[in-house]
Amino acid sequence: MEIRTIQITDTSMRDGEQTPGVRLGIQQKVEFARQLERLGVDVIEAGFPASSPGDRRAVEAVARAVSGCTVQALCRAVRGDVDAALEALGEAKHPCIHIFLASSPLHLQYKLKMTEEEALAAVADTVAYAKAACPQVQFSPEDATRSDFSFLCRMIETALSAGADGINIPDTVGYATPEEFADLIRRLYKEIPALSHAVVSVHCHDDLGLAVANSLAAVEAGASRVECTINGLGERAGNAALEEIVMALHVRRDVLGAETHINTKELIRTSRMAASLTAVAVPPGKAIVGQNAFSHESGIHQHGVLANRETYEIMRPADIGLDKNMLLLGKLSGRHAFSQRLEQLGYALDDKGIDATFHRFKEIADKKTAVTDEDIGAIVNEYLDGIHGKYWLESFQIQSGNHMKAMALLSLRDGEEVFTEAAPGDGPVDAAFNAIDRIAGRDDIKLESYEIRAVTEGTDALGEAKVKISAAGASFTGRGVSTDILKSSIKAYINAVNKCVAAQAEQEG
Ligand code: KIV
Ligand code: ZN
């Protein structure tokens, strides 16, 4: 059997960032992009530059940071979006503009309020406009699986005639079934001869839990590229999980007849980094990268695996880079061992970053028996998220009890100055947040959400707090980690306020 090579587009930083509550900072995207490059993805979709100045800067930074793969930026079918994407991709070695416009009657009528002819004209105009300035252009007819087939063909033909090199077929709402989706791909190839000269990609959502099955069915029907995300991150129920697509193609190339360029040994590292950066935990039973994916609980299974691992294992833990022999770091570990572990976890921090995170590691190692890789991920993230903060926590004191109103006294540093304020609140967290508002001189900040989770197990676990605040029509997320959950909450709130202050300063020029 001839084995085809399927290209992989990772859209964790674009569609994955549309996971509810997920926001990645520029430094976080750069670290993640470097890891995706090591993983061996063909294309990184780094963001949607026209959507915000932050996204534009993040795409710029990713375009500068990686050189071994294509960096793709998303645009609506409007010239302004293409201009923003071209600017952001300026330094990319292999740039790609990805234009999308819906092709389904539902989207055209209710969302876009456009006629079919207007939609075709917008596709022709923006694809040609992008192609004049960028070597690679991909076009996606959004909601393709709920579109009228003949109009879908017209839209794809229009994009190809205008110069698109790639066509991406999205199952935007995760509506298709595998047979139906494969049939759609086959019919498109048959109906549009020019499609055989283009890169045909698919982009499946998981609303019915069929995203991976649909993507693989499309590969069998001839698609040559799959858009997916690490850990299946993405809008609503998420996108097809990259690690599942890659390992299915790897383990079952005998029937699927295809492989990828992915270095599978980087999968677990990438998955853990994504979980840590996004603070979206991987469910234990998740295929390939879940904590239980390679554990054998029942006696019969354990016996079988000990006799011959193939009785119950279709792939080896080492195939995805699971190394059970990594030493745990603790308070006696030095800077060298720590920086080596950072490297093993896929983080490439500069000396300043290593110093800062090593300092935090030492503080935490003093309070915890063993510092796990998840803890280190949380420490690095907190650092990446807060690199350019205005306010820093100096000290806090909080009094609270069941017969008194909580009272917080906080000191924050802003450059050379330290500001102190006291504030009451409904509980210790509320009091601390009120004191921060007073120091920042803000009475317009609204707390949208507040979450706290234990990074690992045990009473000495690190607590990671995430907050979302809104002010002046925009929202900002913040995160903080500490073995003390009040401290992590305060740090998370300061982090969000810092982002809000920075965004407003930028707006004011
Ligand atoms: O789901 C979708 O249709 C998309 C497009 C922008 C490709 O994300
Ligand atoms: Zn999508």
Distance 145 CA to ligand 1 centre (A): 12
Q: What is the pLDDT of residue 366?
A: 87
> Are 248 and 284 contacting, i.e. CB atoms less than 8 angstroms apart?
no
Q: Which of 86-90, 147-151, 237-241, 457-461 has the lowest mean pLDDT?
A: 457-461
Q: Note the pLDDT tens digit of each residue in 52-71.
A: 888 999 999 999 999 999 99
Partners of 101 in beta bridges: 141
Q: What is the model's pLDDT at position 509?
A: 63
**pLDDT for 95 beyond 80:** yes
Asked if residues 171 and 203 have their Cβ atoms less than 8 Å apart, the reply is yes
Q: Is 17 near ligand 1, meaning CB less than 6 Å away?
A: no
**pLDDT value at residue 329:** 86
Nearest CA to ligand 1 atom 5: 142
Say what the pLDDT of residue 303 is.
76
Question: What is the token pair recorded at 351?
Answer: 């000396």
300: confidence class by pLDDT, cuts 50, 70, 90: confident
Residue with the nearest Cα to atom 4 of ligand 1?
A: 172
Tell whether the model's pLDDT for residue 465 goes beyond 70: yes
- Cα(123) to ligand 2 centroid in Å equals 19
The whole-angstrom separation of Cα 214 and Cα 235 is 17
pTM metric for this prediction: 0.86
Please tell me the distance between residue 67's alpha carbon and the centre of ligand 1 in angstroms. Answer: 25
Ligand nearest to the CA of 201: 1
Cα of 55 vs its chain's centroid, Å: 13
With a pLDDT cut of 90, the percent of the chain lying above it is: 73
Residue among 107, 205, 233 whose CB has most ligand 1 atoms within 8 A, to mutate:
205
14 lines ligand 1 (CB under 6 A): no
Query: Does residue 15 have its Cβ closer than 6 Å to ligand 1?
Result: yes
| Mean pLDDT for the stretch of residues 449-472 | 85
* Shortest-distance atom of ligand 1 to CA 100: 6
Per-residue pLDDT, 459:
75
The predicted-structure confidence for 183-203, as pLDDT tens digits, reads as follows: 999 999 999 999 999 999 999
Q: Other C-beta atoms within 10 Å of 83: how many?
A: 16
Q: Would the pLDDT of 261 be above 90?
A: yes
141 phi and psi, to 5 degrees?
-80, 100
The residue contributing the CA closest to ligand 1 atom 3 is 172
Phi and psi, residue 478, nearest 5°: -145, 155
Ligand 1 atom at minimal distance to the Cα of residue 14: 8
Kindly state the average pLDDT of the residues 83-90.
Answer: 98
Instruction: Work out the mean pLDDT of the chain and round it to a whole number.
Output: 93
Query: Among residues 46, 49, 38, which one has the least CA distance to residue 9?
Result: 46
Q: What is the DSSP string of 203-262?
A: EEB-TTS-HHHHHHHHHHTT--EEEEBGGG--STT-B-BHHHHHHHHHHTHHHH-EEES-
Q: Per-residue pLDDT averaged across 443-447, rounded?
A: 95
pLDDT at 508 (0 to 100): 76
What pLDDT is attached to residue 388? Answer: 65
* 122 CA distance to ligand 2 middle (Å): 20
In the reported structure, the alpha carbon of residue 291 is separated from the centroid of ligand 2 by a whole-number distance in angstroms of 27
- CA nearest ligand 1 atom 1, residue: 172
Please state the atom number of ligand 1 nearest to the C-alpha of residue 144: 3
Q: Which of 23-32, 318-327, 394-403 shows the lowest mean pLDDT across its residues?
A: 318-327
Q: What residue owns the CA closest to ligand 1's atom 8?
A: 15
Total number of residues shown for the chain? 509
Share of the chain above pLDDT 70, in %: 98
Question: Is pLDDT at 102 greater than 80 in this prediction?
Answer: yes
171 Cβ below 6 A of ligand 1? no
Q: Name 387's Cβ contacts closer than 8 Å, sequence gap at least 6.
A: 25, 27
Statement: residue 327 has pLDDT above 80: no
264 pLDDT tier (thresholds 50, 70, 90): very high
